[in-house]
Chain A
Amino acid sequence: MPAVSDAVWGAQGTTPEAIEAALRNLLKERHAENGGYVPARVLNLVAFVDGQWSGEVANRLRGVGRYHASRTIVLSYERGRERLDAHASIASEADPAPGELALLRETVVVEIGARHLDDLATIVDPLVVSDMPTLLWSPHGHPGAVDALLGLAQAVLVDSIDEPVWRDAVERAQKLSRRAYVVDLAWLRSMPWRERIASTFDPPRMRGELGKIEELSLRHHPDSTVAAVLLVGWLASRLGWRASPLVARGETLVGSAKGRRQNVAVRLESEPQQTVRGLAGLTLRTASGLELSLDRGPGGLRARRRERGGEEHEWTILGASRGEAGVLGEGIRQALLRDPTYVPALTAAHAMLP
């Protein structure tokens, strides 16, 4: 968020109570300076980050634009640190015009070390705004810290693609989803794909084809196998397929799912040319001879449909890329919503673990 108005505070060897008092004073000062400044009160974001990468995380958060959390608490971790240092800032995107409002958003960076990990919740608890949902994000792993803070959070932000091994990603997300609402960026990246598949089969004359899908091929970024597995899991959970474990054949995973009336052959292929994370393309074939492909393209998804008679149509389904910053912003927004289809998709994906 490019801030035009900043109030800052910092202290070494401080306490959570002192940080919270400083935030209150900063807010009071800003409001006294101009009654048009009002604090945003939507969401707390607690980010546990490696100290050496805290700048990179700050850059990522700056890119989320209007989806910035109201209060962001960054726990910057350096293993050997003994003292608790903190700095806080309150910023707005613009000065308030007469009669208008300008939203204030607060950022607190608390520098902590290994000795603080045992009591992490007691450091964070006084800093989150009460009665406002809290989203927990630990982009550099640290499952112990996530477990310690999970009791304070209503939602946890993960990116299953960040896990080096896709099986671990599915297991970790499933474990977390039993304790909190999980917002998975790998899942959100597939949202346009899911919308398009849903749309293709929405006309009543097409719905019957859903029960006839017999082949499903997914192409994905080499690091994004889990994105493809989640999409298969989504279709399986929505369409009542029972998926079997996937088997590796070189760089490709193959498997099958049992539908009510047919078996579905599943194939997940790595697409080395793909530069952005997530899905690269998909192809669906039905028993009646319909084939539908979607592939990434400029200005949207490139769609190709071959009818049972062999007639082909190609077109672009318009939509601008959100970029990684947009995906992260969407993740923050989704913490306030509830998608009932992720956990069933994850459960179905779990059944595909080799």
Chain B
Amino acid sequence: MASEQENPLVQGLERLPVAPTTLTIFGATGDLAQRKLLPALYNLAHEGGLPERFFLVGVARGEKAHEDYRAECEQAIERFSRRAPDADVLRGLLEHVRYVPGTFDDEAVYGELARTLDEFEGQAGCELNRAFYLSTAPTFFPVIVEALGRQGLERHEGAEVRVIIEKPFGTSLQEARELNGRVLAVFEESQVFRIDHYLGKETVQNMMAFRFANGMFEPLWNRNYIDSVQITAAEDIGIGGRAGYYDQAGALRDLIQNHMLQLLCHVAMEPPVSFTAEEVRNEKVKVLHAISAPSAQDVAEMAVRAQYGPGHAGGEDVAGYLEEEGVREGSTTETYAALRLEVDNWRWAGVPFYLRAGKRLTRKITEIAVTLKPVPHLAFSQDGSLGVRPNQLILTLQPNEGVTLQLGAKIPGTRMMIRPVNMEFLYGTAFLSQSPEAYERLIMDAMRGDPTLFTRNDEVEAQWCICDPILKVWEEEPGPLAQYEAGSQGPAEAREILFEGHGWRAI
């Protein structure tokens, strides 16, 4: 039964083996590394999920000893891990942590890194796969990738080398293309893992199970039965301490270009032939290609942007965006964006996809609402009741992950009166397991070489093809931006992009 091709011992195991690996984090002292990456690595170690030989190298600017970096890692894990660390496991993890100081454009850093990686291999007595995690400002992505190439670190005899690149992958189509060009001049596409952490969320993966593991929805999932789709990512908080990043990005770049277009793809994609990375990503790219890039004239009709002004949240007065610390005076960065997109293919022609994302809205919610067409003939009187409404299927991603189906039901009594009722399913009530953090899943998948939950080069560029024209028009028309009160449903102007008879769902 044992063969060179298959490992007969993996059948029945929930956790598949991961080859011995050294993970190098560039930007190892940054916020993402401290809050997400290090806790994720600890949790993988705790659950026995890391490769059996695992080494970690942190690369960052500040000079510090290995011991000091290990102490920083320990503090970050103790503070941000989803579980209290086990002292023995934590000690075991930190034992194999090294720190390489220096700036990312300094060739000496890569020489030191190469020596460290070789030392680890000597220690392990076997070739180790190499994963480079770029958790830095985007301007350093090409700098690091090219330096890795010059040092010959993009290949390793007898082992796999992978590069994991954080978002944002460019801030425009041109930048994304340039970055892809520079990255792919050094690495093969199969070595590149572009992170969109939304794809690591169980909730997003559940959408595929919902659509493709249940026969009842697919017959309705087309223009004949679906009237419109609304995708909402609303946050009740402001920009917090992220003004430096957010004021350069805005809602369209921060959420819509990546996360929300991914959600749209999951709603609209055709069933893949198989759940292999290439098949799934091919289907998503087809959806993006079916969305026409808007012309400059179209933008005013299909896109709205706005900024939150002063208002109230949680019973407190809150400042408007322009009064937030770190925001440029007179900034025209949008904190709210709404789009109307159309997927021009056989399945979806004529069905509007409304997307909206914003900060300082009434509450935090991420949902996809699919509104079905109304019934063709109504035999019931609607007097004295809310009447018959089109069915809605709502997939809630957060905070309470679940599925709600709005149905018409008879109001008890002698008359035949109808009102909408909800049939609800909540994932939390039906599963015992706790969802792992998105980064735990994504780091594991990258180390294992499974790119299914990562964004491919053509996918990123197709996303930018949709958003770029909108951003260009907005940049040419600097303002003033429409305003909405903090803690509200968003700007009244958002209604202007809806087709007649449509309305935004209450947030």
Contacts and interface: CB of A to CB of B under 8 A. Distances in A.
Answer yes or no: do A and B interact.
yes
Interface of A: 38-43, 66-68, 70, 99-101, 103, 191-192, 194-204, 207-208, 210-211, 235, 238-240, 260, 298-300, 303, 305, 307, 311, 313, 315-321, 332-333, 336-337, 339-342
A42 B425 CA distance: 12
Contacts of B2: 207-208, 210-211, 239-240
A318 B93 contact: yes
Contact of B428 (A103, A203, A207, A341): A103
Contacts of B47: 319-320
Interface string B130-167: 00000000000000000000000000000000000000
B260 to A, nearest CB: 22
B1 interface: yes
A313 B48 contact: no
Nearest to B18: A199
B89 A39 contact: no
Nearest to A194: B13
A315 B89 contact: no
A41 B402 CA distance: 14
B400 interface: yes
B46 interface: yes
A107 to B, nearest CB: 16
B7 A201 contact: yes
B48 A195 contact: yes
A333 B1 contact: no
B19 A192 contact: no
Given A99-B363, A317-B48, A42 B429 contact: yes
Interface stretch (B50-58, B223-231, B275-283, B375-383): B50-58
A67 B91 CA distance: 28
Given A39-B429, A99-B399, A307-B125, A199 B1 contact: no
B432 interface: yes
Given A42-B432, A99-B363, A210 B48 contact: no
B contact residues, range: 35 or more
Contact of A38 (B8, B12, B18, B426): B426
10 contacts: A38-B426, A99-B399, A99-B400, A199-B18, A202-B19, A203-B19, A207-B4, A240-B2, A318-B89, A336-B432
Contacts of A42: 429-432
A198 B13 contact: yes
A62 B53 CA distance: 35
Contacts of B91: 299
B108 interface: no
Contacts, number: 137
B4 A198 contact: no
Nearest to B53: A315
Contact of B400 (A39, A101, A203, A333): A101
Contacts of B14: 337
B48 A198 contact: no
Contacts of A195: 13, 15, 17, 48
Given A41-B430, A66-B434, A313-B125, A320 B52 contact: no
B7 A207 contact: yes
Given A99-B399, A201-B9, A40 B125 contact: no
Contact of A202 (B10, B45, B54): B10
Contact of A40 (B6, B400, B429): B429
Contacts of B54: 318
A68 B433 CA distance: 10
B95 to A, nearest CB: 8
B3 interface: yes
A204 B431 CA distance: 36
A219 to B, nearest CB: 20
B54 to A, nearest CB: 7
Given A41-B430, A315-B52, A320 B46 contact: yes
Interface in B398-416: 399-400
A337 B19 CA distance: 26
A299 B86 contact: yes
B78 to A, nearest CB: 15
A239 B429 CA distance: 40
B296 interface: no
A340 B12 contact: yes
A43 B432 CA distance: 9
B421 interface: no
B503 interface: no
A133 to B, nearest CB: 11
Sort A-B residue pairs by CB-CB distance and give the 5 closest, nearest first. Answer: A299-B88, A319-B48, A341-B12, A198-B9, A199-B17
Contact of A316 (B12, B92, B430): B92
Contact of B48 (A99, A192, A305, A333): A192
